[in-house]
Amino acid sequence: MAQYFINRPVFAWVIALVIMLAGILAIQELPVSQYPSVAPPTVTIQATYPGASAKTVEDSVTQVIEQQLTGIDYLRYFSSNSSDGRMSITLTFEPEADPDTAQVQTQNKIQAAISRLPQAVQTMGVRVTKTSSNFLLVVSLYSSDGTLNQTDIGDLAVTQFRDPISRLNGVGDIQLFGNQYAMTIWLDPDKLLSYSMTPLDV
């Protein structure tokens, strides 16, 4: 191939000029913006409060943590979501913020609020993770022989797959979608009183 162009220098120059001209035209078509859209770093706080209503989670967990989220460098804003038994707060930082530093500072703020959280939340722990607004990988589970229904598959994902995958290097967060096992327990207040127990003890 090289000998072909050596023997035809004029043709080689024409090819080079065409490539250069195409490059110049392509540069003019590239999108240029003074303020390009940049995905800002985000950190997510997650906590679980088993058996608590959304209102209880909001009052005793979400608001307590939100009160501590002041003085974090480059913090732009945060949003929270409280539901039955769980809550999450997403902190959005300025583009120039270092994600690792943001996570460490957020974790330090959480530690200051741990003692004010319900005992059940302290036992379950509060997770602070760096997150991305986009999914990098989506995995779908199904039963090839039909022996497992959606609830069984959801429970399998929680009990067998979630923790091992979350410990893999480079995995920041895992979100599960689908049915999961749930249990509703009605407590007898008279029996609780006879045993000197509270609902939290159960």
> For 96-154, what is each residue's pLDDT tens digit?
899 899 999 999 999 999 999 999 899 888 999 887 656 678 888 888 888 988 888 88
Tokens describing residue 197? 């127990």
pLDDT at 26 over 70: yes
Residues 6+ apart with CB under 8 A from 166: 173, 174
Structure tokens at 68: 């501590």
Give the residue among 129, 130, 59 at the shortest CA–CA distance from 67.
59
Question: Mind listing the pLDDT tens digit for each residue in 75-88?
Answer: 999 999 998 888 99
Taking only Cα atoms into account, the Rg of the chain, rounded to an integer number of angstroms, comes to: 27
Q: HSE of 192 in the Cβ direction (CA atoms, 13 Å)?
A: 10
Q: For the chain, report the end-to-end CA distance as a whole number of angstroms.
A: 80
